[in-house]
Amino acid sequence: MSNSTSGNRLGIVARVSSVGIGLLLGATATAPLSAQEFYAGKRLTVFVNYDAGGPTDFEARLIARHIGRHIPGQPAVIVQNMGGAGGIVGAKYLGEKAPRDGSMVGYFTSAAQHAAFAPEKFTVDFRTYDFIAYMPNGRIHFMRTDVKPGIKTARDVLKAQGVVAGGLTSESPKDLAMRMVLDMLGVPHKYVTGYNSSAQATLAFQRGELNFYSDSPSAYLQKIEPAMVKKGEVLPICFDPIYREGNYVVPVQIRPLGITSCPDMIKAAKGAMPDNEMSKAYIALLSFSGTMYRTLTLPPNSPKAAVAALRVGMERLATDKAFAEEASRTIGEAPEYIIAKDNKDATRLLTIAPEVKAFIKAYAAKVKR
């Protein structure tokens, strides 16, 4: 099966994917009797595993403003943040210490990827959490135009000098993908880690401490494109597509932007995608992006009525016009959500081939400073 992200075949794949998700989310959402009033008179906390101000926080607050009226019982909804260690601190807290009464639901980025590639970091098995919904997504890699000898087109990255990429942790899926793309393109670079949040890393990029960075489409459209791309200070280089069922798929938010996919850029520069451990690990990262880039999840052993009520709430949110309109204004497009029917998908996706896991662990540890 072809993996090209170009031409009509991609458009067909992308449309089929969207239709499939739309059919899933467009079904009539009816809560079981036990779930209909579970949240009546209660407060729900949307718990974010990154600090305030980043894309995960922004999307969580967008959801929080709209979902309350769709959850049976219509609870009040607030947002709480706990960043640290590339999202691991908050994700662990939900499983280890958060109340298991349905009052706190996690909205996480990268938690699934961390759990798959480094499960030893979790005291409570992430596969046992009660999943509500998954959000597929991609990443956009972008570069400052003042990098020597001057970046005027995306392909100029191939001759860039003094590239400094950076992020939160060397084990972060975003940072791993960023480094892998540069390595597969053959671009020498320095990597800087240790920023406490995406907001801090973005600020470092804006100040010029970093000159190559990656982020979600929503963060790019909200912060980078209007403030830096339109001024000629930054160029998008390529994007990480979703990898689903043997095909590269363009994420909804990226389709109108006219950016080249990273696999296509690598093929153009090198003649083909490499057939090695790095490319397999990169595709594994893209597979997560295709389903579990962000996860909405309750702690393990939460009340079944809470799980059912929140799944109904997310199904209804997908058809909310006000939510879609605000999302379009602020992040370019309403996110796609896949409602979890059970934990089987999570268990399958969180089980990674040992050789891929070993490569990623070694690659994360091998950081050139």
Q: Which of these, 10, 2, 1, 9, lies nearest to 239 by C-alpha position?
A: 10
Q: What is the pLDDT of residues 273-303, one digit of tens each?
A: 999 999 999 999 998 766 788 999 999 999 9
- pLDDT band, residue 24 (cuts 50/70/90): very low
Domain boundaries, the chain: 7-136+289-355, 139-287+359-365
Q: Which of these, 243, 170, 250, 163, lies nearest to 209 by C-alpha position?
A: 163
CA distance 134 to 112: 10
Q: What is the pLDDT of residues 232-278, one digit of tens each?
A: 999 999 999 988 878 899 988 888 999 999 999 999 999 999 999 99
CA distance 290 to 267: 21
End-to-end C-alpha distance for the chain, whole angstroms: 39
CA distance 268 to 180: 16
What is the average pLDDT score of the chain? 88
Return the exposure string of 333-369: e unless at least 16 CB atoms fall within 10 Å of the residue's CB, then b: bbbbbbbbeebeebeebbebeeebbebbeebbeeeee
Q: Higher pLDDT residue, 20 or 305?
A: 305
CA distance 230 to 214: 17
Residue matched to tokens 């059970």: 342
Q: Higher pLDDT residue, 6 or 353?
A: 353
Are 7-136+289-355 and 139-287+359-365 in the same CATH fold?
yes
Show Cβ contacts of residue 241 under 8 Å, excluding neighbours closer than 6 positions: 5, 138, 248, 249, 250, 251, 261, 262, 263, 286
- For domain 7-136+289-355, give the CATH number: 3.40.190.150
CATH architecture assigned to 139-287+359-365: 3-Layer(aba) Sandwich (3.40)
- pTM, whole model, 2 decimals? 0.75
